[in-house]
Amino acid sequence: MCFILKNGVVYSTNPRGTYWTTLLTDDPMIASQLLAVSKNELFGIGGFRLADVDPRHIKYSGIVKPSRGFSGGAAEILIDIPIPIITVYDMVQKRVVASDLTGTFYAIMNLNC
């Protein structure tokens, strides 16, 4: 989260690229089920338009497969460049904690980075 807030982008250490989803939810349990991840997601990162990404940088597009007892089913995209973000949404507190729209990526001050 610190990297995202400091740099305004999502960028995975995965050499293939960063997996992204168009899933829109504010419920960590639903996110875990549909993304087939075992940890509850605490933040939603979003705001960029997929149409703004050059198609040459989209390496895969599909649906999350069921895994480890999770249903899967969310759309997933593999992108090989840093992904610009506009908002950070705290799914526990149910509020936007940072937004580039208002120039308030202030949430970094609340984290131990």
In the prediction, which pLDDT does 102 show? 58
Contacts of 45 (CB under 8 A, 6+ apart): 4, 10, 85, 87, 88, 89
Beta strands across the sheet bearing 95-99: 43-46, 87-90, 95-99
Domain of 81 in residue numbering reads as 2-110
Contacts of 62 (CB under 8 A, 6+ apart): 75, 76
pTM above 0.95, yes or no: no
> Which three-class secondary structure state does DSSP give residue 76?
strand
Label the pairing between strands 75-79 and 43-46.
unpaired
Domains in the chain: how many in total? 1
pLDDT along the chain (113 residues), means of 10: 79 92 89 89 80 92 95 96 86 81 57 62
